[in-house]
Amino acid sequence: MTEKPPSITFRLDPRSGVAPYRQLVDQVRNAMVSGLLREGDQLPSLRDVVTQITINPNTVHRAYRELEHLGIAEGRAGLGTFITSYSSRPFDATERESLERKLRDTITEARHFGISEEQILELITLAFRQDGDVRT
């Protein structure tokens, strides 16, 4: 019997100040952006994750609940947890162009103020974190 590989392999950074469950949530989000995960994909079962990496099953459970809460995944009774259609909406060329333009403007403005690339990236990270704080 050949075993199917999991749709995603998680990792945990113990030196991060981000709660472990949130690290998993972020990894699912990133995997969707990069195309590793798509609509309808089944997330590995709790036991599979626990077999794959050394992690508390409660953390995985918490992460999946959070993904459901965010509308990214849905639990189907007796089947498992699946990526929903809503979450994997492709982002089209116009949207991409508009976002890129705004980002370029921000960078130009920052350069004008004499702010370094590292500082800009730090600001963006901070903004994401605050956004995450608001949403969860």
State the residues that interact with other proteins by CB under 8 A.
12, 14-21, 46-47, 50-51, 53-59, 62, 129
Nearest distance, CB of residue 22 and other proteins, angstroms: 9
In this complex, which beta carbon is closest to other proteins, that of residue 57 or of residue 71? 57
Q: What contacts 71, CB < 8 A, 6 or more positions away?
A: 84, 86, 87
Which position has the token pair 């590292």? 118
Nearest distance, CB of residue 115 and other proteins, angstroms: 15
In this complex, which beta carbon is closest to other proteins, that of residue 23 or of residue 87? 23
Nearest to 42 by CA among 71, 84, 100: 84
Nearest distance, CB of residue 81 and other proteins, angstroms: 15
